[in-house]
Amino acid sequence: QVQLVESGGGLVQAGGSLRLSCAASGRTFSSYAVGWFRQAPGKERIIVAAIRRSSGSTYYADSVKGRFTISKDNAKNTVYLQMNSLKPEDTAVYYCAAELGPLITATPTYWGQGTQVTVSS
């Protein structure tokens, strides 16, 4: 089992940057595929970025490709989401997630509590 705690959210102007962190306790992130999801008010939760457990290959939603970067530091048991060139439509609660399989799915086994990101226009 693993417990996940997100941090790094906040208020930023359009065009600015934030880095979200997700710290894990229990098993190391090397045992899991990990990813980031977000949910805006009145909308469904969607996957934003993911990284495979073994290969390290990454996935990004088209809406964030070229602006967001997911990375993982196994030694520190932390996964990051670097968010650049933020837009008002990026405003959402962001969640990190972990999956026992090789690739994160739409319904991961483990979730963090979420951190709010608000982008002003």
Work out whether strand 78-83 and strand 68-73 pair parallel, antiparallel, or are unpaired. antiparallel
In sequence order, the β-bridge partners of residue 20 are 81
Distance, in Å, from the CA atom of 98 to the CA atom of 93, rounded to the nearest integer, reads 17
Category of 32 on φ-ψ map: left (φ > 0), alpha (ψ -120 to 50) or beta: beta
Residue range 53-82, pLDDT digits in tens: 887 899 999 999 999 999 999 889 899 999
Local structure of residue 89 (DSSP, 8 states): G
Closest CA to 74 of 94, 98, 108: 98
Q: Encode the chain (121 residues) as per-residue pLDDT tens digits.
A: 789 999 999 999 999 999 999 999 887 777 888 999 999 999 999 999 999 888 789 999 999 999 999 999 988 989 999 999 999 999 999 999 999 888 888 889 999 999 999 999 9
Query: What pLDDT does 68 receive?
Result: 98
